[in-house]
Amino acid sequence: MSKIEEVKAHVENGKTKLVPGLVQEALDAEHSPQDILKAMVAAMGVVGDKFSAGTIFVPEMLIAAKAMAKGVDVLKPHLAGDTSSSLGTCVIGTVQGDLHDIGKNLVAMMVESAGFTIVDLGVDVSAQKFIDAVKENENVTLVGLSGLLSTTMPALKDTVKALKNSDLTGFKVMVGGAPVTQAMADEIGADGYAPDAGGAVIKAKELVRAA
Ligand code: B1M
């Protein structure tokens, strides 16, 4: 088994203590940080499939998420890019009712490395909290909304609507998360959508530079 396969297997099995060391060993074995990240994301896909199949339950999902987060901590400095440009502040969070934060954290990390200052509101964030954060922070050019559950798609829609109907200006709204699509983003009036963290960087820059 290659180091990268070991990382994947240990994330799947929620080996929180072993994953950071294995990620470091994979880096030392000259696997690219992007490939290691891809393996960890794939591991979470397997975890989700097992949950759907009823072979694992919420605690196992949670521990796998913790293992992945520990691995991402080791990868973070290796994924950071050019931070020399200043593209303003990105307020980001997972919408109300939703506690999933791994994808949102990856997007925040990559968008930060592209030159944005990040204000991360965390998970289960109400529309009002997003609005307050736009008011309270300087030079907000982007608001990022993440949603992972079908049941929180209405909260995503309501948050976009509340931001767009507020008297605040000067920022674009980007949405993402597994159930979100470009068609849905268009329908709910978001300015942009990205399917993954790499795409989020491209879309964030495009939205802000076009403003
Ligand atoms: Co939950 N969960 N979960 N879960 N969970 C899913 C999402 C699910 C698909 C699993 C399944 O059934 N197969 C399913 C949702 C089904 C649906 O609604 N369509 C589900 C469910 C049902 C639930 C609960 C309801 C389970 C229960 O209690 N019975 C519950 C809900 C709790 C709540 O939120 N209120 C629940 C709880 C949890 C845990 C807390 C145990 C844990 C989350 C821990 C944490 O995040 N800290 C968890 C986990 C780990 C998962 C899976 C297994 C993995 C999610 C993940 O981290 N993926 C997930 C199954 C799956 O995704 N296949 C599942 C890896 C991550 C890198 O990908 O988050 O998609 P992702 O992010 C990507 C893109 O989506 C995109 O870029 C990211 C990076 O590439 N992206 C953006 C994300 N946000 C973006 C924002 C952008 C742009 C792109 O712009 C701003």
Rounded CA-CA distance 5/19 in Å is: 11
* Tally of CB atoms within 10 A around 187: 11
Q: Can you count the helices (H) and strands (E) in the chain?
A: 9, 5
Using the atom order of ligand 1, give the atom closest to the CA of residue 104.
84
pLDDT value at 80 more than 80: no
19 and 94 inside one domain: no
Which pLDDT score, from 0 to 100, does residue 82 have?
59
Q: Could you give the 3-state DSSP secondary structure of residue 192?
A: strand
Q: Which residues pair with 193 in a beta bridge?
A: 175
45 and 127 inside one domain: no
pLDDT value at 164 more than 70: yes
What is the average pLDDT value for the chain, to the nearest integer? Answer: 95
How many structural domains is the chain composed of?
A: 2
Using the atom order of ligand 1, give the atom closest to the CA of residue 97.
35
pTM value? 0.95
What's the rounded mean pLDDT across residues 83-104? 92
Q: Is 14 in the pocket of ligand 1 (CB under 6 A)?
A: no
What's the rounded mean pLDDT across residues 193-202? 94
Rounded CA-CA distance 63/68 in Å is: 9
66 and 99 inside one domain: no
What's the rounded mean pLDDT across residues 124-129? 98
Cα 139 to averaged position of ligand 1 atoms, centre (Å): 30
Q: Is 148 in the pocket of ligand 1 (CB under 6 A)?
A: yes
Ligand 1 atom 89 nearest Cα: 176
**Which of the residue ranges 80-89, 103-112, 118-127, 162-171 would you say has the lowest mean pLDDT?**
80-89
Which pLDDT score, from 0 to 100, does residue 85 have?
66
What percentage of the chain exceeds 70 in pLDDT? 97
102 and 148 inside one domain: yes
Which pLDDT score, from 0 to 100, does residue 211 have?
72
**Could you read off the pLDDT of 131-159 as tens digits, one per residue?**
999 999 999 999 999 999 999 999 999 99
pLDDT value at 83 more than 80: no
**Could you read off the pLDDT of 35-72 as tens digits, one per residue?**
999 999 999 999 999 999 999 999 999 999 999 999 99
What's the rounded mean pLDDT across residues 151-180? 97
Which pLDDT score, from 0 to 100, does residue 81 have?
65
Using the atom order of ligand 1, give the atom closest to the CA of residue 144.
91
Length of the chain: 211
Cα 117 to averaged position of ligand 1 atoms, centre (Å): 25
Which pLDDT score, from 0 to 100, does residue 86 have?
85
The last residue of one of the domains, among 56, 83, 110, is: 83
From residue 161, alpha-carbon distances to 130, 172, 173 in Å are 12, 12, 10
Question: What domain range includes position 111?
Answer: 86-210
pLDDT value at 101 more than 90: yes
76 and 26 inside one domain: yes
Residue 120: how many CA atoms within 13 Å on its side-chain side? 14
Rounded CA-CA distance 177/175 in Å is: 7
Which pLDDT score, from 0 to 100, does residue 191 have?
98
Rounded CA-CA distance 53/163 in Å is: 38
34 and 133 inside one domain: no
66 and 42 inside one domain: yes
